[in-house]
Amino acid sequence: MAFSDLKPVCVNDEESGNTYIIGSVFAVYGMIGSEPPLVYSWDMIRMVSVTRREMVIETAGKSYTIINKLFANTEEILRTIAIIECRQKEFSFGYQHEKRMFPLKSMYTECSPGKESYTGEGVLDDGETAAAFIMLLNFKLVKFLWLIALLIMFVTFGILHLFIGITRDNILYFVPISVASGAIVALLVYMITHAAARAKFKKMADADLATRQPITFVVSRAGFAACESCTYEGRDLVPWSEMDYFIESDKMFILYKNNAAAAYIPKKAFEKKFVGGIADIIALSLEQR
């Protein structure tokens, strides 16, 4: 089991008088003196939902809400999420979460990275990641932009013909007007979608606490890791078989699973001389698109 050595997290809720311990079991200590505690093994948990505000752990008869503010620091929240995701893999309870920038801990397996492995660390750069989002958008959008431009061009040409009528005198004006209108609309669409992509990244970054934390990146023949440094144990990897393909930009490698970006690995996190070797390992392990 990956991340099995994580220290359990103890959260004290003064308002309800409960103390929660999330570790190999989920325990709820009531008010002082009311021991023994209520202890749930993870197979008794029905559902866990993690949002940027709180975590809700549901059992057969009860629901426990732990507000993120109760945790001593961000590392503790991330550790709790890691513990929950690992137990989710083992016990298959329901798990709801917001979109992530990095793979869930349930995708990891414990194995040695081996000799041919590259390790780097760094905080995800907002500008670089937003640029990557836009690049991905361009990938999808570029063919549609041509279509939109052509469509708008023909539509404009048709409208002009319908209302004014094409004659030998004005056709020379109509063609450039149609082309320009197509280009302007395409440009507008491009700008709007860029703004949307940037907003999407910002929303995702705000929702995922890990984006503001130092991340350890590991690339090896056995798999890769992109995990908060405060929880990473050094022997947990996502096997390449978990991913489908990758896209390489000038700043990062973006790994895909089920046509959605599952991990962003910035080249900046590694020493420059290693980037070639990393690219080789990823290219040997996944299809490039």
Under rule CB under 8 A, residue 21 binds other proteins: yes
User: Looking at 1, 67, 164, 171, which residue binds other proteins (CB under 8 A)?
Assistant: 1
User: Cβ of residue 29: shortest distance to other proteins, in angstroms?
Assistant: 9
User: Cβ of residue 247: shortest distance to other proteins, in angstroms?
Assistant: 26
Under rule CB under 8 A, residue 111 binds other proteins: yes
For Cα atoms 15, 18, 19, give the angle at the middle one, nearest 5 degrees.
120
Terminus-to-terminus CA distance in the chain, angstroms? Answer: 32
Under rule CB under 8 A, residue 135 binds other proteins: no
User: Looking at 12, 41, 63, 288, which residue binds other proteins (CB under 8 A)?
Assistant: 41
User: Looking at 14, 53, 60, 176, which residue binds other proteins (CB under 8 A)?
Assistant: 60
User: Cβ of residue 279: shortest distance to other proteins, in angstroms?
Assistant: 24
Instruction: Give every CB contact of residue 278 below 8 A, 6+ residues apart in sequence.
Output: 118, 219, 253, 265, 267, 270
Residue type, 84: I
User: Cβ of residue 225: shortest distance to other proteins, in angstroms?
Assistant: 13
Under rule CB under 8 A, residue 116 binds other proteins: no
> Do 9 and 74 meet the contact criterion of CB atoms below 8 Å apart?
no
Q: What is the total count of residues that contact other proteins (CB under 8 A)?
A: 31
Question: Binding segment for other proteins among 23-31, 96-104, 138-146, 176-184 (CB under 8 A)?
Answer: 23-31
- Assess whether the previous peptide bond of 266 is cis (omega < 30° from 0): no
How many Å apart are CA 103 and CA 96, to the nearest integer? Answer: 14
User: Looking at 39, 184, 188, 191, which residue binds other proteins (CB under 8 A)?
Assistant: 39
Question: Binding segment for other proteins among 5-13, 150-158, 213-221, 275-283 (CB under 8 A)?
Answer: 5-13
Under rule CB under 8 A, residue 63 binds other proteins: no
User: Looking at 13, 23, 97, 194, which residue binds other proteins (CB under 8 A)?
Assistant: 23
Tokens representing residue 38 in the block: 């209520």
Under rule CB under 8 A, residue 59 binds other proteins: yes
Instruction: Give every CB contact of residue 197 below 8 A, 6+ residues apart in sequence.
Output: 130, 133, 134, 136, 137
How many Å apart are CA 237 and CA 110, to the nearest integer? Answer: 6
Under rule CB under 8 A, residue 32 binds other proteins: no
Cα-flanking dihedrals φ and ψ of residue 157, to 5°? -60, -45
> Do 222 and 111 meet the contact criterion of CB atoms below 8 Å apart?
yes
Under rule CB under 8 A, residue 5 binds other proteins: yes
Bridge pairing between strands 287-288 and 245-248: parallel
How many Å apart are CA 284 and CA 239, to the nearest integer? Answer: 13
How many Å apart are CA 230 and CA 139, to the nearest integer? Answer: 34
Nearer to other proteins, 6 or 70 (CB): 6
Catalog residues that contact other proteins under the rule CB under 8 A.
1, 4-8, 10, 21, 23-25, 27, 35-41, 44, 59-62, 109-112, 233, 235, 239
